[in-house]
Structure 1
Amino acid sequence: MRMKLAFLVATALVATPSYLLAQEKGGVINVATIGEPPTLDPMTSTADLVGIVTQHIFETLYTFDKKWAVTPLLAESLPDVSADGKTYTIKLRTGIKFHDGSDMTSEDVVASLNRWVKLASRGKQAGAFILSIAAADPATVVIKLKQPYAPLASLLAFNNSAAIIIPAEKQADTMTDFIGTGPYMLKERKADQYIQLVRFNDYKPRSGDSDGYGGARHQYLDEIRFVPVPDANTRVEAAVSGQYDYVDSLPVESYDKLKSSTATQPLVLKPFGYPVFVFNTAAGVTKNVAIRKAIRQALSMEDMMAAAFGGTDFYAPDGNIYPRNFAWSTDAGVAGNYNIADPEGAATAAKDAGYTGEPIRILTSRQYEFHYKMAQVAAEYLKLAGFKVDLQVVDWATLTQRRTDKALWDIYISHSPFLPEPALIGSLSPSSPGWWDTPERKSVVDAFTTEVEPNKRIELWANVQKAMYDEVPFMKIGDFNAVSAISTKLEGVDPAPWPYFWNASTKK
């Protein structure tokens, strides 16, 4: 599909270095992240932080190139799809080794994909359409579907709830041996201190040029250390001083301060994505769709975005799930349901829906400072509408664990980049926290995912977005730009929603 994927018009405020001419091996970099990842098993988590770290250790059959098209990674080529769309034949690259020295074969791939279908929220999403996964020979895997399923390749490519390939004998539900095929391997993890990755000397990169997450992955660095720095202001000061080589997820108000630093420069990803308030549709007070609508009616999306991101250089109110520069953009369902800011009307609607003063438990974290600022504004609007609010501020790892328990929350705050395939949106899967699972969801999502003709899929996506507004499994707050910081001594890092450091090197 030739989509207008102006996904990340990334703006670096320094001249692009000529690193292609003189990158050398060696060096250690320290990367400041928003906190400690809850797990290093990317199959079992949809947290971006998990994907950022683990994409260096584990690999998938496919990934995305710089234009956000699916491209082969551990697979030799794109899948050969039968005329009826129900059989995917996947040729594997040969000579690929795991970090334990064993060779990757189709046996490992079949076992890994079966684990993915069993444990991963997006694997379960695909699994509903999968009839069988089998090895045709040591270098070929065949996936048979019950019916055509257009997003399959994109789901296999995604690093979030990822279909990673691990050894067949390492398929326990709880991962204890972190053995992948990636360019770096886990050496040491000290909780709340660092995750240390070192070069995997037997790594076999793809040939050709690097291309987004695809193409050749070069191992110039000896070591990458991911260091949790939960406090946003601490991350800013560390970036300005040059304490870290890369600092992820900084408050936008730090932009001018970063720009004046001699050690670090800001990196702006524009547009990056959108904040979301995800509802618990399975239990508690927000199980009632009328109460979810009343909560939405109370809120000012624009005020939340202004509090979180300051000036409009960094945000835009927009109810369309995708912005207008995407082929997926549609305003279906948006009119009258976005940025209403009517607490008085919401109070009446909540009373009519049977609300009797139960606390609305909102999970948020200050590790993403903009989440917290939006939560504060939302709480005040909800109080004006007569809702009792229980704002629970926890670390991000705790939030990702707590949101898996239907009994513990009503809303959690998160965000997402604009994904190249809408079926990758977590809330479309009934197994994703929020558990949106209604006849309407199934009808519109199944129609969308089983259609293979690109223009028809665009039309059908409008029906999915309308169902989201009709049933309110989550609320999009708006569009935002993201700010990170990169050392002036670090080369070869392309702006990306999940930053990666293969191809990176340090200036000598």
Structure 2
Amino acid sequence: MNLKIALLVAAAAIVTPQSLWAQEKGGVLNVATIGEPPTLDPMASTADLVGIVTQHMFETLYTFDKGWNVTPLLAESLPEISADGKTYTIKLRSGIKFHDGSDMASDDVVASLNRWIKLASRGKQVAGFVDTIAATDPSTVTITLKQPYAPLTSLLAFNNSAAIVLPAEKQDEPMKEFIGTGPYMLKERKADQYIQLVRFDGYKSRSEEATGYGGARHQYLDEIRFVPVPDANTRVEAAISGQYDYIDSLPVESFDRLKGSSATQPVVLKPFGYPVFVFNTAEGSAKNVAVRKAIRQALSMEDMLAAAFGSTEFYALDGNIYPSNFSWSTDAGVKGNYNVADPEGAAEAAKEAGYNGEPIRILTSRQYEFHYKMAQVAAEYLKLAGFTVDMQVVDWATLTQRRADKGLWDIYITHSPFLPEPALIGSLSTSSPGWWDTPARKTAVDAFTSEVDPAKRVALWADVQKAMYDDIPFMKIGDFNAVSAKSTKLEGVDPAPWPYFWNASLTK
């Protein structure tokens, strides 16, 4: 299946094969992030910020190459899958050490996967399909399923709600010791100041050429520091002045200023992903699907995108969950349900749905400034439709905590990159905040995930998207391009939805 993400580096930032660089060893890389991650346990969170930091410390059995194909990481090779699609035999690499000096073996993997299916939202997606996870021998793990489950290897590869491998004796919930197999290990975390990672000298890289998140992971840097810089304008000024070596998630209106800086160059990922409004389908006003439909009817996706991203150079109006360059792209369910912008009709629909003026609690953050701008536009359209709006603006870490409580919100605003496997979309899991759990969801999602034929899965994904538009667990707002920035001294960093800094180096 030809799945791809078109990644564009703008403003003369030319992606050069890493093999052509004589990269220097040493140095401290300073990365400005949108804030403080809520946890350093990647199983326990779906926040992108958690994955960005922890992917340097922890590793999974598989990951994704530059073409978004699953490729082995801690596994020796791709799994051997039985003819009936129920048995996955996974050979592990030898000589892999944890940060505490112990050797990785199959019992560590089994314990970690059991923790994952119990704790992680994406692990819980898998749990119902799993019969057993067993250590066949010290270097082999066998996963036996109750029925075929096509997304399994993609879920095992994902760095978000990730199936990381930990030592068998360090499986605490919550995590107490942050011991992984990654190229960098945690030295110090000072809340709201920095997370300091240092080179793990016992790391064993893969021998293949680096490709996306896969292949060789070289440790040119001595240290990586992730520094929370919650204010978007502060991040822009820090980028222009050269204060940091990499600056994540910048407002698109900063592009021209970044382009004119001598210290920094902009990096544009096009298309990056899509902003979404996630509904609480379990409690509160939005539990009523008719109220959710009235809210959607009121909103102008176009006005929200324009407010958030300014120029159509940075956004596209598109109701398909996947854009046209993905084989998953379909318009199922979209017609008549996207960018309706009819607050008067929505007011009538809300009244018929039994809406009585209860506050619609919108949870958002200014650390992602485009979230906040969309929320402001949405609030005005909802007020025109007669809804009472309670806008709750909090920091991102607080938002990720509050969204886990069914009693605290009706809509929260987030975004997602376009994921290589639709089953990775968080809202498909009944345990994901929003708690979409209807017969229509179960029918569509179960049929999609149990089918292994790629062509049939594309057709079945259209049924899932239609169920999304019928039940409205979330609303896609449109497509957008993301802007970050990197120092002119930083080499070996290819643009990626979750930026990574193994293979990166700093020129003196």
Once the two structures are superposed, residues 69-96 of structure 1 have per-residue CA deviations (whole angstroms, 9 ceiling, x without a partner) of 0000000000000000000000000100
Q: Does structure 2 retain, via aligned residues, the 8 Å contact 1:11–1:270?
A: no
Once the two structures are superposed, residues 3-31 of structure 1 have per-residue CA deviations (whole angstroms, 9 ceiling, x without a partner) of 24134344463344575331121010100
Separation (CA, whole Å) in 2 of partners of 1:110 and 1:445: 27
How far the C-alpha of 1:57 sits from its partner, in A, is 0.2
Where 2:169 maps in the other structure, the secondary structure is: helix
Separation (CA, whole Å) in 2 of partners of 1:423 and 1:13: 35
- 2:389 is matched with 389
Where 2:275 maps in the other structure, the secondary structure is: strand
Q: Does structure 1 retain, via aligned residues, the 8 Å contact 2:11–2:259?
A: no
Change (3 A) 1:15 1:443: closer
| TM-score, normalisation: structure 1 | 0.99
Pairing of 1:258-337 with structure 2 (within 5 A): 258-337=258-337
Where 1:93 maps in the other structure, the secondary structure is: coil
Once the two structures are superposed, residues 287-346 of structure 1 have per-residue CA deviations (whole angstroms, 9 ceiling, x without a partner) of 000000000000000000000000000000000000011100000000000000000000
Q: Does structure 2 retain, via aligned residues, the 8 Å contact 1:249–1:484?
A: yes
Separation (CA, whole Å) in 2 of partners of 1:6 and 1:169: 38
- 1:435 is matched with 435
Separation (CA, whole Å) in 2 of partners of 1:208 and 1:150: 26
Q: Does structure 1 retain, via aligned residues, the 8 Å contact 2:3–2:420?
A: no
Separation (CA, whole Å) in 1 of partners of 2:490 and 2:254: 20
Separation (CA, whole Å) in 1 of partners of 2:506 and 2:182: 20
Pairing of 1:56-455 with structure 2 (within 5 A): 56-455=56-455
Separation (CA, whole Å) in 1 of partners of 2:322 and 2:491: 31
Where 1:270 maps in the other structure, the secondary structure is: strand
Where 2:383 maps in the other structure, the secondary structure is: helix
AA aligned to 1:300 is S
Q: Does structure 1 retain, via aligned residues, the 8 Å contact 2:129–2:145?
A: yes
Where 1:169 maps in the other structure, the secondary structure is: coil
Superposition CA RMSD, Å: 0.8
AA aligned to 1:13 is A
Separation (CA, whole Å) in 2 of partners of 1:10 and 1:256: 14
- 1:3 is matched with 2
- 1:470 is matched with 470
Once the two structures are superposed, residues 251-290 of structure 1 have per-residue CA deviations (whole angstroms, 9 ceiling, x without a partner) of 0000000000000000000000000000000001100000
Where 1:460 maps in the other structure, the secondary structure is: helix
Separation (CA, whole Å) in 1 of partners of 2:313 and 2:269: 12
- 2:497 is matched with 497
Where 1:208 maps in the other structure, the secondary structure is: coil
| TM-score, normalisation: structure 2 | 0.99
Q: Does structure 2 retain, via aligned residues, the 8 Å contact 1:17–1:491?
A: no
AA aligned to 1:505 is S
Where 1:262 maps in the other structure, the secondary structure is: coil
AA aligned to 2:496 is A
Pairing of 1:38-53 with structure 2 (within 5 A): 38-53=38-53
Where 1:211 maps in the other structure, the secondary structure is: coil
Identity %: 81
Change (3 A) 1:423 1:16: closer
Separation (CA, whole Å) in 2 of partners of 1:173 and 1:450: 31
- 2:37 is matched with 37
Separation (CA, whole Å) in 2 of partners of 1:312 and 1:17: 28
Structure 1: which 4+ aligned runs deviate by more than 6 Å? none
Unmatched 5+ stretches in structure 2: none
Change (3 A) 1:422 1:472: same
Q: Does structure 1 retain, via aligned residues, the 8 Å contact 2:9–2:15?
A: no
Separation (CA, whole Å) in 2 of partners of 1:113 and 1:7: 32
Separation (CA, whole Å) in 1 of partners of 2:295 and 2:15: 46
Separation (CA, whole Å) in 1 of partners of 2:445 and 2:14: 44
AA aligned to 1:358 is E
How far the C-alpha of 1:112 sits from its partner, in A, is 0.1
Unmatched 5+ stretches in structure 1: none
Q: Does structure 2 retain, via aligned residues, the 8 Å contact 1:165–1:180?
A: yes
